[in-house]
Amino acid sequence: MSNSTVAKRYAISLFELATQKNVVQAVENDLRELKVVWNGNKDVKTLFTSPKLSLDKKKELIRQIFTNANPIVINTLLVLIDKKRLAEVSDIISEFMILSNEAQGVAEAKVYTTRALTEEERANVSTAFAKNVGKQSLNIQNIVDPSIIGGIRVQIGNRIYDSTLSTKLDRLKRNLIG
């Protein structure tokens, strides 16, 4: 059984349970925070995946660290400890986000600009591009990239909408040379 299959199964179960309890948004928020902690600090991942630390001690640490998290998230982590699948946390969270976004009609998007977008600009980009991919809105990750000179590049899945000045200059250069 591949890692992605395991992650999908856990994510589906977690999503179904969160949907039944009507706490999908709360679970999603907790999982986003967990992903930042899990991926942002290698010591945390190393600690919880270490065979030197007993299962009971890992469970105790989970309960202490995530006291304010939704019980569904805590219980999922405890099950992952019991099944020795804690290394799958990041993949499970990613799969859960895919399920949650699909249910809400949301797509993940990376938006490259020369400066950080304001909330109004984020909303405008979301409105303008969500329709192109058949979604209601976009969950935007704004990436500041001064090399694009000006304009905007939007990546939604494998689609890229590029109206940056650097790309236009490259096209002009190719046309003039060719």
97 to each of 15, 30, 87, 134, how far by Cα in Å? 9, 11, 17, 18
Same domain, 113 and 145: yes
Q: Among residues 69, 101, 133, which one ends one of the domains?
A: 101
Same domain, 156 and 117: yes
Same domain, 125 and 144: yes
State the Rg of the chain over Cα: 20
> Who contacts 76 (Cβ-Cβ below 8 Å, separation ≥6)?
10, 14, 92
Domain that holds residue 127: 105-177
Would you write out the chain's pLDDT as a tens digit for each of its 178 residues? 445 799 999 999 999 999 999 999 999 999 999 998 888 888 888 888 888 989 999 999 999 988 899 999 999 999 999 999 988 999 999 999 999 999 999 999 999 999 999 999 999 999 999 999 999 999 999 999 999 999 999 999 899 999 999 999 999 999 999 7
How far is the C-alpha of 157 from the C-alpha of 12, rounded, in Å? 21
Same domain, 140 and 110: yes
How far is the C-alpha of 164 from the C-alpha of 83, rounded, in Å? 48
What is the residue whose two structure tokens read 């949907």?
19
132 to each of 119, 161, 163, 167, how far by Cα in Å? 20, 10, 15, 21
Same domain, 94 and 135: no
pTM of the model: 0.76
The strand order across the sheet containing 106-113 reads: 137-144, 106-113, 153-156, 159-162
State pLDDT tens for residues 162-172: 999 999 999 99
Same domain, 55 and 13: yes
How far is the C-alpha of 141 from the C-alpha of 129, rounded, in Å? 14
Same domain, 172 and 87: no
